[in-house]
Amino acid sequence: MNAPLAPFRTRDAQPGLPCPLDALDTPCLLLDEAHMDGNIARLRTRLAVSGVAFRPHLKTAKSWEISRRLMASPHGPATVSTLREAEELAARGVTDITYAVGIAPQKLPRVLALRRRGVDLTVLLDSVAQARAVAAASDPADPIPALIELDCDGHRSGVQPGDSQLLLAIAHALKPSARLRGVLVHAGESYEARGEEALAAAAEGERAAAVEAARILRDAGWICPVVSVGSTPTAFSARSYEGVTEVRAGVFVFFDLVQAGIGICAVDDIAASVLTTVIGHQRDKGWAIVDAGWTALSCDRGTAGQAVDQGYGLVCDAGGHPVGDLVVRGVNQEHGVVAPRSGNPADLPDLPVGTRLRILPSHACATVTQFDRYHVIGAGGEEVTAVWPRLMGW
């Protein structure tokens, strides 16, 4: 069993801050606090008007300073993608957590340890084998609650919403030691939707799948109090939450170029970026070389299939403003190739060695996970006002 790591602590006073961006070593991760707060407020307001609860997914942020802004209270609710996240939140007093990745039997001792600490931790499963393992591990005095994962669009894992035989078999396998808490669905293919109507259709497919599976279970006599849906595109596109009890979303806290390409946000809404430095040129090729490669930007090419391919990231100046039509066209481990977007005949602008640039991420989740801290920039984006640790590990 993995031993829990000591929780990160954010210092009340951080020597040397504020400091200018020029004082930072690169590559490093920047976070525009005002943009982030605006993104959070936008979704929170939308869901409040809809009258549905919000269970934020903290897998993107992995930071206490950000998590506490996302949750409705210091105790939750929260969604996580690793037990390491759950353990860190528990150390901070969060008690209402959904672990939204299919449970492996070997991880159940950590689940039990968290529940013994007073955390109402719910697990996720989509098979009879998992349900039997959860039931076998459960303490009869404190049954582990489980959600059945649904597949609404062929994206990944989960039970088909109309597969009554499997749904009921899983529910039955949880007896008598564990307990069914409800159903959960993630519309992963919403990331491929284009246009308002397609996004709304993806959101409705997600909602309908969850509601149908819950109906099957309830008609068979099972209590199904939780009907959980969620992805960033559908959270901003749903026209109805009838029958839904909660919404989950995570990447919206920063947004990224994939979400901008879908139309869920504007490029100006993107809150996370990577600060990098020009370290050389290949002038005959029209390239500038920066010190941010795939270890800083990730290898995610989420916009490759969109109308505008942003490469490995959109190039901005140190103030966060796009520079011409520059993108990161290629990456090696520690090198990034900056050049005009493919098909653009424009020359590379003058970027002397030492020039600081900011790269907006293709997929924020993949980029920010390369770093162990956020350098938080305040109004104007010219100096770092705080450093917030990021959680690492599983």
Eight-state DSSP code of residue 49: H
pLDDT at 12 > cutoff 70: no
Residue 379's closest CA among 33, 69, 19?
33
For residue 197, the model assigns a pLDDT of 95
Structure tokens at 118: 């007073």
Distance CA 200, CA 12 (A): 43
pLDDT at 94 > cutoff 90: yes
Q: What is the CATH number of domain 267-389?
A: 2.40.37.20
Eight-state DSSP code of residue 299: S
> Can you list the alpha helix ranges (DSSP code H) found in the chain?
33-50, 64-70, 83-91, 108-116, 128-137, 164-173, 196-219, 232-235, 257-262, 294-297, 364-368
**Where exactly are the structural domains of the chain?**
57-249, 267-389
Eight-state DSSP code of residue 8: P
pLDDT at 3 > cutoff 70: no
For residue 192, the model assigns a pLDDT of 86
For residue 2, the model assigns a pLDDT of 35
Residue 224's closest CA among 165, 170, 153?
170
Which segments within the chain are labelled E, that is strand?
19-20, 28-32, 53-54, 78-80, 96-102, 120-125, 145-150, 179-185, 226-229, 246-247, 272-282, 287-290, 314-317, 322-331, 336-340, 356-360, 373-377, 383-389
Residue 277's closest CA among 24, 16, 19?
24
Strand partners, 142: 139
Distance CA 89, CA 64 (A): 8
- pLDDT over 70, % of the chain: 96
pLDDT at 148 > cutoff 60: yes
pLDDT at 8 > cutoff 60: no
How would you classify the pairing of strands 287-290 and 272-282? antiparallel
Domain spanning 57-249, CATH architecture:
Alpha-Beta Barrel (3.20)
Distance CA 30, CA 44 (A): 23
State whether residue 256 is helix, strand or coil. Answer: coil
Tell me if 57-249 shares its fold with 267-389: no
Please report where in the chains the tokens 């982030």 appear, as a residue. Answer: 36
Residues 207-261: tens digit of each pLDDT: 999 999 999 999 999 999 999 999 999 999 999 999 999 999 999 999 999 999 9
Of 72-81, 119-128, 371-380, which range is least confident? 371-380
CB-based contact 184:150 (threshold 8 Å)? yes
CB-based contact 387:17 (threshold 8 Å)? yes
